[in-house]
Amino acid sequence: MSTVDPEDPRQDGPDQQPEGAGRPSDDIDAEFARMMEGISLEEDAPLTVEDVLTDGGEDQEPSIAVIATSVATAKALAGVVRLGREARTDGIDIPVGTRTHDTSTGAIAVGPLAETAAHDLAAIASTALQRNGIVLFWRRGDRMTATRYKNGERGEDISPAIVLGAVDDLVEELLLGATGVDELGEGLDPAALSRTEALAWIASGKKRK
């Protein structure tokens, strides 16, 4: 007795199999094509390893820059920074978000700046101050740095702990997050000054009140 089921296509002879049968890759290709219908690889490109590492990575952590100076008042420092930008020939500009504030040991320039912008600001400020050195403190996450600047040039990197003791406690509080920039008040924006205003502010702010 024959056990062949005439209606079972799986038992057809070799000559009766449809073209492409026995090639599972054809089914996979067809399924993949169906899934990709309406999807543009250019518009909906998958994330790369670099995208994953960058998104939400270190660049997304809040940062803070504090420039400690011996300038008597925040008003005078704002004028100094404005004139320093004008004196530079390399085209760097005052970073957005920079403000100057008074402290008991000298005016400071503060901003939530990325590292490159922080160093730009330090270079600008020290250009106008010429022989008077300044210190740039910068922090992001667990990383804190301190760098000397003089006459527009970057100097040595030093331990923040060595120089923090010589400046107002507010500097350390800002760096550690104990005091937020928004708690300092509006401050003074050097970028908003004209050259004439900058000169007047420097002249009127030479002495602490």
> Exposure of 103 by Cβ count < 10 A (0-12 exposed, 13-18 middle, 19+ buried)?
middle
CA distance 151 to 127: 5
> Exposure of 136 by Cβ count < 10 A (0-12 exposed, 13-18 middle, 19+ buried)?
buried
Residue 122: per-residue pLDDT: 97
CA distance 189 to 75: 9
Quote the tokens at residue 38. Answer: 């309406």
Residue 111: per-residue pLDDT: 97
**Model pTM score:** 0.70
Which of the residues in the chain have pLDDT under 70? 1-29, 31-60, 206-209
Residue 205: per-residue pLDDT: 73
Residue 17 C-alpha from the chain's centroid: 64
Residue 41: per-residue pLDDT: 47
Length of the chain: 209
